[in-house]
Amino acid sequence: MVSNQKHIVVVGSCMIDFVSYAPRLPGPGETIHGTKFATNFGGKGANQCIAAAKLGGRNYACRQGTNPFETPYKSFSCIIFQVGDDIWGKKYIESLKNDGIRVDYVEETEGVSTGIAQIIVSDAGENQIVIVAGANLRLSVQDVGTAKDVIADAAIVVLQLETPVEVAIETLRLCKGISILNGAPAIAQFDPELLTLPSIFCVNEPEATVFTGLPVNNKSEAETAAIKLLSMGCKSVIITLGAAGALYVSNEDKQFVHVCSPSVKCVDSTGAGDAFIGALAYLLANRKDLGIERALLYACMIAADSVTRPGTQISFPGPEILKQVV
C-alpha cells in the first residue's frame, strides 16, 4: 500500500491552541490554578501536515513563491483549509510558509474567526480540549473542486472530521492515491461513504466506540471493533491504542497487525495522534520498502517521541528521527 508519487495533500482544519498547564485536569464546575500558558498553532489537519513536512515533506521553494511542481524536490506537503480574516489567520498562513508547506489553497474568510482550541494539559500529560471550529466550517466542496488536480495527483491524501463531512467525502471521491481518513472528532450518525471510500480508516479507542457502538478499552476489544468496521465497509482499519501502540487489519486477509509503542516519559500527549498520522502518510509516500507493519511501528515511535516535549506542532520531530527509527 505505497504510491509511486511523493507529495502529500491534507484537507482539513487549523486551530489556534490556547494551552493551559495545570497539576491535574479540573473536575466539572471546578476552578484550579494553572502553572503555565502558551499559544500554539494547531488543528488536526495542519498538525498532520506539519508532522509529515517536518520529516521531509517540505518544499522550501514555497518560501520563494515558486511552483513546487516545477522544482526538483522529491516530496512536499500541501494543505487545503480556511482561516478567518483576523490576525491569527494571517499568522497561521505565514507559519505554514515558513515550514515549507504549499498554501495555494488556503483562503481567508471574511466575517468569521480562525478556529480555536482551548486545551488543558495536566502534569501527567493528559489533556482536555474544546474546539470552536470558526472558519473551518466554511471549507466547502467548491474549495475542494478548485484543488482537484493536486488531490488527484497526490500520493497520500489525509482528512479528518473537524471540517464539514461533505468536504471529506468529495475529497475521497477525487483521490486516486492512498487516502487516510482520521475519524476525529467521531460522529455517531454518518454517511456510509465515510467508511467505504478511504484506503485507511484511522481512529483511537473512544472514536472506535462511537463509530461502532462497541466498548473499546483494550487490544482485544479493539480487534472486535476493527472487524465490525470492516463489516461496515472499511477497506482497512487502524485503531491507535495510546501507549499500547496501534492495531491494523485489512479486508484483504483480515489478519491483525499489532505494533507496540516505546515506553517514554509523557510530558504532553496533545497531538500525538496527529504525529502518528502525519508520520504514516510521509512513510507510505516515501518509503516503499517498509511495508505497512514497519510503517506503523515507526509512526508509533515518532508519535511517542512527540509526547516527550510540550506543545503540538512544536513537539513534532524532524528528519533526524528517521535515522533512529528507519
Binding residue ranges for ATP: 204, 240-245, 273-274
104 labelled catalytic: no
What's the distance, CA 121 to chain centroid? Answer: 19
Q: Answer whether the bond into residue 317 is a cis peptide, omega within 30°.
A: no
Q: Look at strands 178-182 and 156-159 and give their pairing.
A: parallel
Pairing of strands 116-122, 257-259: unpaired
| DSSP-assigned beta bridge partners for residue 158 | 10, 180
- Polymer length in residues for the chain: 326
Candidates 153, 274, 289, 305; catalytic one: 274
Q: For residue 52, give the C-alpha cell.
A: 509529515
Q: Which residues carry a binding-site annotation for substrate? A: 15-17, 43-47, 162, 274
Q: What residues form the annotated binding site? A: 15-17, 43-47, 162, 204, 240-245, 268, 270, 273-274, 306, 309, 311, 315
Write out the binding residues for K(+): 268, 270, 306, 309, 311, 315
Quick check: 300 and 259 in contact, CB under 8 A? yes
Report how far residue 316's alpha carbon sits from residue 324's, in angstroms, rounded to the nearest whole number: 15
Do 283 and 298 form a contact (C-beta atoms < 8 A)?
Answer: yes
Residues labelled catalytic: 274
